[in-house]
Structure 1
Amino acid sequence: MLSVNTACLLAALLGLVYIWCRYTYGYWKRNKIPYMTPFPLIGNMQVLFTMSNSFYLYLSEIYKDARMSKAAAVGIYILNRPALVLREPELIKNVLIKEFPKFVNRSGGCDPHDDPLGSNNLFFIQDQPWKDLRSKITPVFTTGKIKQMYPLMTEIGTELEAHLNSYAKTDDAFVTEVKEVCASFTTDMIATIAYGVKANSLVNPNAEFRVIGRKMFIFTLSRAKDFFVNFFFPKWAATFRAKFFPAEFSAFIRGTIGQVMALREESKATRNDLIDVLVSLKEEAVAKGEYNAHLQDVLTAQAAVFFSAGFETSSSTMTFALYELSKRLDLQERLRNEICEAFVAEQGTMSYETINNLPYLSMVVDEVLRLYPVLPFLDRQHSPKEGEKQSDLKPYYDYTIPDGMAVYIPIFGIQRDPEFWPNPNTFDPERFSTENKKTHKPMTYLPFGSGPRNCIGGRIGLLQSKLGLVHILKNHYVTTCEKTPSEITFDPLSIVLSYKEGIYLKFVNDKRYERIARQ
């Protein structure tokens, strides 16, 4: 039995914990902000601990919660730390655009000493270094540069056609897992246009680039721990040795980029790609006597995030597009006719201008990104400069946002809100017709974010997805099969919108282009 002293000590300790919980988790009630009821010690992070849902999809569940339907913002707790989930488009506009200088940083981060590739890439880097880096990397993504890359991209599109033709030696249909096909295509694409490297993932499923890419997005408990620390408690990153990029991925990228940059410097060749920009930045630093190991880490970090984000986001968009089109053959027929007629008009080719101006293709991709925003959330940290007025939630609430508070924007929930999107779970490309786009409420469609810190690679991502769909649907149509899921179940461990298992579809050889050309 417990002694009297031990029992009293335990009772006192429990009493202190109770008082601490009452005060800590009473923050939003004291400030008169609608809030989700927290659990003691873990706050509103229960979905992470039970692995029942992705936290970022849980943010969208908060957005859709009937009790919060009239709330402009909702208070939550990241363990014991208060944070905000924004619902009102005007507040979202304030954070992303109007008051952007106060929200320039993401709330996550990495250990700058033990994880230089994680901490120095354009996604996580903060404050003035982010501004400087963004301005230097931006030239890669101008319309002119992308147009110059386009012939390289169409070569990979042709290889995708050949890859699909290799599945069936006859005209018979075949079933395949779509995400792997799309990811192999976008891996080869990124390797070519960013690094000037022939990855050969479509030809060889065990090609090095593809193997490394898979490992980046295999979500184990260990990786879930790393992402939890990096996104929610970056100050703990050193303690828990959390790294955004796996060690094997980092080593591969370092070796590849070092070799490619050295070859490019030696040959003096120009490809108008990311490596050209990195080489230029290195030469500029060398001329100023400022080149060092840290700068090389910064350069390599951009290559790492460009590869990982570039192949995953576009391949997911293509996969979800094919999945939705397989269930709506009437819409697929319309899209295939548009694609094939464009090829016929340009005698078997498709120019950069044409692919960007195919109206129905754009409508389809835009609608896919509404239903399936690959990054289903945005996060920002309130960090006004010294002497700068803090942001508030007026006129909705008399509340001033404290310095350091994390703010979340639940893109997935917003883009499936029936108030803005009638029948929101229905795949309907007509939402993005020229006329219908005029009716969209600002800040309710954010697949690439908005404002100065929007996705820098959005245009390349769109072009990759469109090019992949064009070269798949040119000579094939897709239908559902016995292994096709009736509904999409998202991976609860993933930080991006990812289907938990493979999506299998039936591909049917159909030389639509050739038939139209003969007519």
Structure 2
Amino acid sequence: MALTEALFLIVGALSAVYIWFQRSHSYWRRKGIPYIPPTPIIGNTKAAFKLDTSFGLHLSDIYNDPKMQDEAVVGVYAINKPGLIIRDPELVKSVLVKDFNRFHNRYGRCDPHGDPLGSNNLFFVRDTHWKDIRNKLTPVFTSGKVKQMYTLMLEIAHDLEEHLKRHGQSNPGKYITEIKEVCAQFSTDSIATIAFGVRANSLQNPNADFRNHGRKLFTFNLARAKDFFVAFFLPKLVSLLRIRFFTKEFSHFMRSTIEHVMEERERTGIVRNDLIDVLVGLRKEAVAEPTKPHYAHNFDFLVAQAGVFFTAGFETSSSTMSFALYELAKHPQLQSRLRQEINDSLVEGGGTLSYEKIQSLEYLSMVVDEVLRMYPVLPFLDREYNSIQGQPDLSLKPHYDFTYEQGTPVFIPVYGLQHDPKYWPNPEQFDPERFSPENRKSIVTMAYQPFGSGPHNCIGSRIGLLQTKLGLVHILKNHSVKVCADTMKEMKFDPKGFVLQSQSGIHLEIVNDRLYEESAAKAQ
């Protein structure tokens, strides 16, 4: 009898759960919003669960569903949570710019107890804390400060040249390499010196601490895929499942590094106008008024800003550089045009490029902008709707008779928008001419979001773009890149990654023009 009762209880509980999910999964039908029919229990996450694609790109696949091509939004379910994929550029503008005060938080979050570096950094922090922190960090990223960093970045660019030269000398002027790793070594060294005043030496030693920890952080396995899926799509479970944005090893490394660098900066009094100077200043403010609330009373708050700046800074630039070299290798005529612009400018500048000159290279900017269109590092943006007390909630009229509810997640499929033939004719074709001065005028602004828009846009975009351009210049000035037998004919992305990454690396042939010609002459 006891066994029978237990079975009845189990069946009853499972039936209740199923009914609850069915009720949740009828939300968009009841609200009159077009939606993709969900899979029982797991909602619209089946493709991500099966690792057919990453969850970020899955949003773009839904965006591209033929049944939704004339819709302004699409209703989806992250397991049981109803969310909206925004398709219409004007509604994208509403979320990111016009009605930002209602969408100022990301939907994703980290466990504040198990991952204080993840939950306290500018990317994830919420509400008024985000605004306060953004205002305190903004001085590091002004055009004037970035210009001051240029000399430091040039030193690393010369290290990159030496790295390529060494490898060319040990080969007959050409060799095959995984170019993303080379770009990551460069961007790691660059970020380490301009943000922390530290020589990371990744180009000399690929297993140096900074590169080693950065590589591990962005090596996506099933466990890391689970962490990011929960953080962005099931944020209420982050504490229960102990989700971490930063691994324990990386957190320990950043704490020890930042503590050492800050103590050294305080001891010497050296001013570099970098991120560490801002963090030192915040700590001094906190010490001066110990009884007043201040973020910097919590050392992990300071480390968190350094951690996200480092990870975002090296990964975004290295990915953009490597995707650019991949496309240029496949399009040698475009590569020749870019190299001609670079070398003409170097001749004009007596072998060097000033900060102003590199910013003025028109075709280089066109190439980078087109790469960011085809390969946005973060393929989606997430926000959460917040009601404002005393004001009516925002509606989707005239598109639909629907009013946002508190806590509704919204997702902007950046990759989908930037590959939509409605805004980008022949979108899979690499075509820098889309961003020529004449053609820029016809671009639908909200259909191009590599750094986001509005107050929550990427704070480090200036540094990221400059770093990318500088790296490309110092690779292409003496080297050409070519496809080889190991080069993917069509790009395939890692389905486990939350950022856009090649599934199997980007292998290219690097040719040092002078050394190769000398080697060929000797062979004759």
The answer to whether the superposition gives a TM-score over 0.5 is yes
Residue in 1 that maps onto 2:410: 407
Residue in 1 that maps onto 2:394: 391
Give yes or no for the alignment of 1:466 onto 2:463. Answer: no
Residue in 1 that maps onto 2:376: 373
Shift of 1:83: 0.4
Please tell me the residue identity of whatever aligns with 1:300: V
Quick one: which of 284, 307, 310 aligns to 1:307?
310
Residue in 2 that maps onto 1:455: 458
Using a 3 Å threshold, how does the CA distance of structure 1 residues 160 and 79 change in structure 2: closer, same or farther? same
1:103/1:384 contact within 8 Å kept: no
1:382/1:402 contact within 8 Å kept: yes
Residue in 2 that maps onto 1:517: none
Residue in 2 that maps onto 1:198: 199
Shift of 1:485: 0.4
SS at match of 2:287: helix
Using a 3 Å threshold, how does the CA distance of structure 1 residues 209 and 15 change in structure 2: closer, same or farther? closer
Residue range with higher mean Cα deviation, 233-242 or 291-300: 291-300
SS at match of 2:238: helix
Shift of 1:221: 1.7
Distance 1:260 1:393 in 2: 50
Distance 2:210 2:289 in 1: 34
Please tell me the residue identity of whatever aligns with 1:364: V
Shift of 1:387: 2.4
Q: Deviations over 1:81-138 (max 9, x none)?
A: 1000000001110000010000000001112222110111000001111001000100
SS at match of 2:446: coil
Residue range with higher mean Cα deviation, 194-203 or 10-19: 10-19
Please tell me the residue identity of whatever aligns with 2:331: R
SS at match of 1:238: coil
Residue in 1 that maps onto 2:145: 145
Residue in 2 that maps onto 1:157: 157
1:117/1:298 contact within 8 Å kept: yes
2:184/2:315 contact within 8 Å kept: yes
Residue in 2 that maps onto 1:52: 52
Note the 1:86-485 alignment, pairs <5 A: 86-169=86-169, 172-289=173-290, 290=292, 294-485=297-488
Distance 1:171 1:22 in 2: 65
1:384/1:403 contact within 8 Å kept: yes
Shift of 1:7: 7.3
Distance 1:6 1:284 in 2: 62
Please tell me the residue identity of whatever aligns with 1:27: Y
- Percent identical residues: 58
Distance 1:127 1:283 in 2: 25
Q: Deviations over 1:31-87 (max 9, x none)?
A: 110001101111011122211110110000011110100110000001111000000
Shift of 1:223: 1.4
Residue in 2 that maps onto 1:494: 497
Using a 3 Å threshold, how does the CA distance of structure 1 residues 385 and 328 change in structure 2: closer, same or farther? same
Please tell me the residue identity of whatever aligns with 2:93: K
Distance 2:328 2:394 in 1: 44
SS at match of 1:176: strand
1:101/1:384 contact within 8 Å kept: no
Distance 1:47 1:155 in 2: 45
Shift of 1:496: 0.1
2:139/2:145 contact within 8 Å kept: yes
Where in structure 2 are there 5+ consecutive unaligned residues?
518-524
Using a 3 Å threshold, how does the CA distance of structure 1 residues 73 and 408 change in structure 2: closer, same or farther? same
Distance 1:143 1:66 in 2: 43
Using a 3 Å threshold, how does the CA distance of structure 1 residues 250 and 16 change in structure 2: closer, same or farther? closer
Distance 1:140 1:6 in 2: 63
2:484/2:509 contact within 8 Å kept: yes
Distance 1:508 1:11 in 2: 67
SS at match of 2:368: helix
Please tell me the residue identity of whatever aligns with 1:437: R
SS at match of 2:94: helix
Note the 1:60-79 alignment, pairs <5 A: 60-79=60-79
Distance 2:314 2:205 in 1: 16
Using a 3 Å threshold, how does the CA distance of structure 1 residues 18 and 276 change in structure 2: closer, same or farther? closer
Distance 1:262 1:282 in 2: 11
2:286/2:296 contact within 8 Å kept: no
Shift of 1:4: 7.7
RMSD across aligned positions (CA)? 1.9
Using a 3 Å threshold, how does the CA distance of structure 1 residues 232 and 21 change in structure 2: closer, same or farther? closer
Shift of 1:13: 5.2
2:18/2:41 contact within 8 Å kept: no
Q: Deviations over 1:386-420 (max 9, x none)?
A: 22322221110110111001100000000000000
Q: Deviations over 1:470-518 (max 9, x none)?
A: 0000000001000000011111110100011111101111259x9xxxx
Distance 2:222 2:70 in 1: 36
Using a 3 Å threshold, how does the CA distance of structure 1 residues 343 and 80 change in structure 2: closer, same or farther? same
TM-score, normalised to structure 2, is 0.95
Residue in 1 that maps onto 2:522: none
Distance 2:228 2:29 in 1: 29
Distance 1:467 1:19 in 2: 57
Shift of 1:16: 3.8
Distance 1:387 1:510 in 2: 68
Distance 1:444 1:472 in 2: 31
Distance 1:16 1:202 in 2: 58
Using a 3 Å threshold, how does the CA distance of structure 1 residues 10 and 214 change in structure 2: closer, same or farther? closer
SS at match of 1:156: helix
TM superposition outliers: structure 1 runs of 4+ over 3 Å: 1-19, 290-294
1:84/1:408 contact within 8 Å kept: yes
Residue range with higher mean Cα deviation, 106-115 or 135-144: 106-115
Using a 3 Å threshold, how does the CA distance of structure 1 residues 165 and 292 change in structure 2: closer, same or farther? same
Q: Deviations over 1:410-441 (max 9, x none)?
A: 00000000000000000000000001000011
Please tell me the residue identity of whatever aligns with 2:482: T
Distance 2:58 2:124 in 1: 22
Residue in 2 that maps onto 1:503: 506
Distance 2:113 2:14 in 1: 39
